[in-house]
Amino acid sequence: QTALHLGELFSALNHSVTFLHSGLHTWWESYPLPSYATEHLYTHPLSEPLDLIIDIDASLPAPIRKSFLLPGTHLVAFLRTFLQFSEMDASVYIETPIQTRSMEYIHEIWCWDVLNPAETLPSIQTMFPTCPIRAVPFFWTPTLTNYFTKSQRAFCFSPEPTWSIHIAEKNTNESSAIVPLVAIREATRRLSLASSSPPSPSPSVKFLVHHLDALTESRFLKENILAPIEFPTLPVSLAPTVPFHDLVKTANHLFFSHSRFTPLRPALLSLIWMGVPLFHNSLILRDLHPTLQEGYYKGNEISEWIACLQRFLVHPHVWWEGQKERRTALLRRFGLSVHREAWASLLDTI
């Protein structure tokens, strides 16, 4: 998605755009090649030099980079995460086998400014002494979201709808379903969302937890999380991974997000655009619109989340009435047109 967003931006700035890829897939099956762009296998030589090559997540092999470094070419590694965590703190909590990554032939590193405050960059710079790090303006565009939803918005049926609350965390150090599971247990106890014997879903609220099935055989999870919260008694179902845009196909879907070590989960912007009611702990989203402030809970504060849920269940119409204003606020803060001039100035320095 980052590549497509950047491509749309550069096209709007009247630059030609080429998407480089390995050839394992000609293109995404679910999304057509944009009309403004061409594609090129990076294993094949270029017919003419490129002025700027952006290597998303620094994934290109060094020999491929070297083959692209023709006179006048500027090569950038775009790292999409909160670097202070992903590049430093995550090394203490190793989740996946190490993957060798080289910054060879890279001229500079770009990262999103909204995810990487200026005060966090000096420590990261020490890890890449030969590559200056530049925080670039974060922007977002609804083009992809509109394509997959066909511009349809989330909706509800009333009176007395049954709400499906989705939890779709990656279950990594930055994004975990553990706090939401504990919060569901406490909400069930306080709000009587389910009876404990026999377990049954609430007539008004049910929870669907995605991406958790792969962890359910973990002894630690079973003994230290699922057993104490009496997981089988909760109105929770384990669900397969679904794309966010599926949530506009049927009524009454909500989303419960819990992020750690990052101020913003960019994927949530698509949910906001689609109109899916959102509970979150992002300070950036909190200040975007009053309805997002109503859905905000601080950090790991379970009681605050329960209060958000109670407010929504009593006055759900407040969310739906704010849809147009939320979209306007989203584009005013993150829209391509707002950051176009800053990006034009940035590209002039290359």
Residue 33 has pLDDT above 60, yes or no: yes
Q: Which residues of 95-128 are buried (b: 16+ CB within 10 A; e: fewer)?
A: eeeeeeeebebbbbbbbbbbbbeeebbeebeeeb
Q: Calculate the average pLDDT of the chain.
A: 88
- pLDDT-based confidence at 160, cuts 50/70/90? low
What pLDDT, on a 0 to 100 scale, did the predictor assign at position 25? 65
Name the residue among 164, 168, 185, 187 with its Cα closest to residue 176. 168
222 and 213 Cβ atoms separated by less than 8 Å: no
Is residue 185 pLDDT above 50, yes or no?
yes
**Per-residue DSSP letters for 88-103?**
IGGGGS--S-------
23 pLDDT more than 80 = no
Helix (H) or strand (E) holding 309: helix 302-314
What pLDDT shows up at residue 46? 83
Contact in structure between 208 and 112 (CB atoms under 8 Å): no
Q: What percent of the chain has pLDDT over 70?
A: 89
pLDDT tens digits for 149-159? 998 888 887 66
Q: Where are the beta strands (DSSP E) in 141-279?
A: 163-167, 205-210, 236-239, 253-256, 278-279
Which of 28-32, 69-73, 303-307 has the lowest average pLDDT? Answer: 28-32
| 53 pLDDT more than 50 | yes
The whole-number average pLDDT for the span 53-65 is 92
- Reduced to 3 states (helix: H, G, I; strand: E, B; else coil), residue 297 is coil
**What CA–CA distance (Å, rounded) separates 75 from 236?**
47
pLDDT tier, 27 (very low <50, low <70, confident <90, very high otherwise): low
Structure pTM? 0.90
Residue type, 267: A
Torsion (CA) 174, 164, 331, 324 in degrees, nearest 10: -160
Statement: residue 14 has pLDDT above 90 = yes
**Residue for token pair 């293109």:** 27
- Is residue 331 helix, strand or coil? helix
Residue 144: pLDDT band with limits 50, 70, 90: very high
List pLDDT tens digits, range 195-247: 444 444 444 889 999 988 767 777 888 888 889 998 888 999 988 888 899 99
Instruction: Please give the Cα distance from 170 to 80 (Å, whole number).
Output: 16
Instruction: Indicate the residue type of 148.
Output: F
Q: Which residues pair with 105 in a beta bridge?
A: none
Q: Two tokens at 129?
A: 């002494």
The confidence score (pLDDT) of residue 94 equals 54
Lowest mean pLDDT across 102-111, 137-146, 164-173, 223-232: 164-173
